[in-house]
Amino acid sequence: MPQLRIAIPGAAGRMGRLLLCEILDNPSYALAGAGECPGHPDLGKDAGVLVGQASCGIMVSDDPATIVAQADVIIDFTAPCGAGDYAPLAVANRAAYVIGATALDADSQAAIDQAAQQIPVVQAANMSLGITVLTSLIEQCAAGLDDRFDIEVMELHHAAKQDAPSGTALALATAAAKGRGVDLDQAMLPPHSGRRGRRPKGGIGFAASRGGDVIGDHSLVFCGPGERVELTHRAHDRRIYAIGALKAAQWASKQPPGHYNMRDVLNLSMPRE
């Protein structure tokens, strides 16, 4: 079976390095290109040496066209300000595009949406296989538990995380809202603070905490009269995101053009009306 050729923008970043290690350790994959932004101190380094492995012959480049020229799939975890920049190049090279960045601006999202009309795009706020299963369970639970059950999303992340609620917390809440048949923007409650009176019926609340080096803990709780249901996921190793992204890459490389998510990758999507 031919190797899947994968390009990694942001190769020197935290997720980029994890992806490089997974690709270089697995004979099913071949590193097609590794990129970083202009002026980055790791430009010109061998990607294998960058992550403490043997030289692989792929140098970290700041030329996006060179990075993706030989790729079957591009996996993009770059920061929100750069996410989506590779979408036109993915289209030009007929490469599948897997994107895990969150908090995207409107222009980046528009570029991704446009690319999905011509190539397979897998986009997810969290590439963890466990989180993917969790969102499916949440949607099913929300469909079966009516608005007598209050919904609360709770998440804890490391002190350096900048966005709140996290992209994953929003994805879990979106699954709950979909199961309930409501719009999240309308159901989302403001943060709990001061004397706000009784909680509105049918709302979806959030509690975000930051501290230490916690990778990511997420819980969604259905609190009903006389009972509650708690669904929780805790990340212990960031490799789970790289492993999920590579599974998405394998799957996407065989799909027709379209905009997919990780539940599509795992065949967990509920029937679409």
The catalytic residue positions are 157, 161
Tokens 């369970």 correspond to: 137
Burial status of residue 222 (CB atoms within 10 A of its CB: 0-12, 13-18, 19 or more): buried
